[in-house]
Structure 1
Amino acid sequence: MSPSSPILHITSRDNPALQRLRKLSLDGSAYRKLGSVWLEGDHLVRACLQRGHPVLQAVLTEAAAADPVLRALADAAPRQLVVPLALFKQISGLESPAQIGFEVPLDAGQDLAPEADTVVLDRLQDAGNVGTILRSAAAMGFRQVLALKGTAALWSPKVLRAGMGAHFGLRLIEGLSPEDLGRLRVPLVATSSYAEAQLHQIALPSPCAWVMGHEGQGVQPGLMARCSLTVGIPQPGGEESLNVGSAASICLYESARQRLLAPR
């Protein structure tokens, strides 16, 4: 940590740095144009630091600046902006604003890892579902997530909050086309209500790439045709389908369970 990092006290809402952060907070895709990401709250800040992700600057309220714990987090940044709570609220996307946030650089130059355990997101729209899947992927050892065009912005504030820090343990690549998946050298697997094989009855390939489809339309037909395996998820309660976030968590868990039980 660097306790000697410059500390700037800002009181004007027109300050250019705050205007930039306001865009990052309120426009879910602004990070693509601005090249950085806004993390709000000590949980995301800690996750960022624990994974060694670089930081551009810390922003904290006057009250947070007086808190030794939050101030220690801010000291990890090369620059600190201290603002009144009223100004922090203007850059916050939360009903009850946190006291601290980081601006971090966007790592948009990662290459696709052809043989990695992977999750493919096919046009998922709901930020909560996307964040849930990222969190499950990180927990179950799937270190790469590939998002096709039309999927909710992976680094938007809503997805970041739902991911709870999982972003910093994943290789995230977005804006892909189905054709880009041809670079993968692992089999694609999807769920289908028409599949004869049930998830718990079949040996899943490892590594593999689980394909999770649009909330209403499912996996697009052309991409489903690329899948070498489709499986069903038993639903003895009789529901027609599962939420895609729940379905992904079940599938990733089963992959992880079989991997742990496989002979070494």
Structure 2
Amino acid sequence: MSEPVFVTSRENTLLKELRKLSTDNTAYRKAGRFWIEGDHLCSAALHRGLTPAVLVVAESFWQNPKSGPLAPVEYARAAIKTIVIPDALFRELSGLESPAKVGFVLDLPLDTALQPKAATVILDRVQDAGNVGSILRSAGAFGFRQVLALKGTAALWSPKVLRAGMGAHFGLTLVEGLALSDLDALAVPLVVTSSHQGDLVQQLVLPHPCAWAMGHEGQGVSSELMARASVFARIGQPGGEESLNVAAAAAICLHASSLRLSSSRLPATLEAYSNQGG
């Protein structure tokens, strides 16, 4: 367990770095580490076996811990270093309306090599942080362990995407800043959603593993990426809406793929029973 260091100066070097990490969407790239706050994200990181470089705790939480998944001493046991700061200074770090009073500084993953045969989600200039975080959650939930972000996509480890991802980051391989040519390394079929071509997603025999491409909120998937597609899928909208939010579309598509994967793993007798309509 790391012994706590009490820091009261606003000019402390670490606090200066944390203020930048908590407000600048791309500061993590230069620093090589990122900031998360709150019981949920911190507990999710520990559940995935991550070791925090620094635990930062508000003084009131350290002295009188509120109810939560873990007590401050348990967080401290996992961290390499622990600092305790006045509540006023913690509020300056927080991106939340009600500061959570506990946060981690974590090192960026070192192993971010593209995995050619992995079930993959490609983000093509998806710019809204909430959409990106939501897609990461769907990817993790439905068994797509690799997310590739093309240039122009929201910064994957930015504070807003981390909050929207709700811990999904820690179970995924994330590669960002890619050019279209980097996708040449993929060895799985590319599936693209389109409003004007392809079969309804629920009627398709979807390949697995595959790579689903999710495009820009307004422009959709680029024509260059579309040209690489092996399969086109449509999402039926009997209600007559013009289009779906990209995060909603991703959830539908990835869920459809997960159903295909699940059915392929059914025991032979159960599959036969299912085919007979039993």
Supply the AA of the counterpart residue of 1:11: T
Q: Find the counterpart in structure 1 of residue 147 from structure 2.
A: 145
Supply the AA of the counterpart residue of 1:179: S
Structure of higher CA gyration radius: 2
Instruction: Pick one of 232, 239, 244 that aligns with 2:246.
Output: 244
Tell me by how many angstroms 1:64 deviates: 1.5
Q: Deviations over 1:79-109 (max 9, x none)?
A: 1110111000011111211110000001144
SS in 1 for 2:227: helix
Tell me by how many angstroms 1:70 deviates: 2.9
Aligned residues: 261
Residues 184-203 of structure 1 mapped to structure 2, 5 A cutoff: 184-203=186-205
Instruction: Pick one of 49, 56, 59 that aligns with 2:56.
Output: 59
Residues 1:219 and 2:221 are matched in the alignment: yes
Give distance in 1, aligned partners of 2:57 and 2:34: 16
Q: Find the counterpart in structure 1 of residue 210 from structure 2.
A: 208
Q: Deviations over 1:15-66 (max 9, x none)?
A: 1110000000000110001110001111110111110122101000112212
Does the 8 A contact of 2:54 with 2:106 survive in 1?
yes
Residues 1:118 and 2:120 are matched in the alignment: yes
Give distance in 2, aligned partners of 1:35 and 1:106: 6
Quote the RMSD (CA, aligned, Å): 1.1
Does the 8 A contact of 2:190 with 2:211 survive in 1?
yes
Q: Deviations over 1:172-228 (max 9, x none)?
A: 000001110110000000100011411011100000000000000100100100011
Supply the AA of the counterpart residue of 1:125: Q
Give distance in 2, aligned partners of 1:73 and 1:7: 11
Q: Find the counterpart in structure 1 of residue 14 from structure 2.
A: 17
Tell me by how many angstroms 1:74 deviates: 2.7
Tell me by how many angstroms 1:253 deviates: 0.3
Does the 8 A contact of 1:193 with 1:232 survive in 2?
yes
Supply the AA of the counterpart residue of 2:177: G
Q: Find the counterpart in structure 2 of residue 159 from structure 1.
A: 161
Give distance in 1, aligned partners of 2:51 and 2:178: 25
Q: Find the counterpart in structure 1 of residue 27 from structure 2.
A: 30
Q: Find the counterpart in structure 2 of residue 6 from structure 1.
A: 3
Structure 1: which 4+ aligned runs deviate by more than 2 Å? none
Choose 90-99 or 204-213, whichever is displaced more.
90-99
Does the 8 A contact of 2:198 with 2:231 survive in 1?
no
Residues 51-130 of structure 1 mapped to structure 2, 5 A cutoff: 51-66=48-63, 67=65, 69-130=71-132
Q: Deviations over 1:225-259 (max 9, x none)?
A: 00111110000100010000000000000000111
Supply the AA of the counterpart residue of 1:35: G
SS in 1 for 2:199: coil
Supply the AA of the counterpart residue of 1:7: P
Unaligned runs of 5+ in 2: 267-278
1:100 and 1:263, CA in 2 relative to 1: closer, same or farther beyond 3 A? closer
Q: Find the counterpart in structure 1 of residue 272 from structure 2.
A: none
Does the 8 A contact of 1:36 with 1:105 survive in 2?
yes
Choose 71-80 or 203-212, whichever is displaced more.
71-80
Does the 8 A contact of 1:6 with 1:79 survive in 2?
yes
Give distance in 1, aligned partners of 2:235 and 2:131: 18
SS in 2 for 1:75: helix
Does the 8 A contact of 1:6 with 1:78 survive in 2?
no
Supply the AA of the counterpart residue of 1:42: D
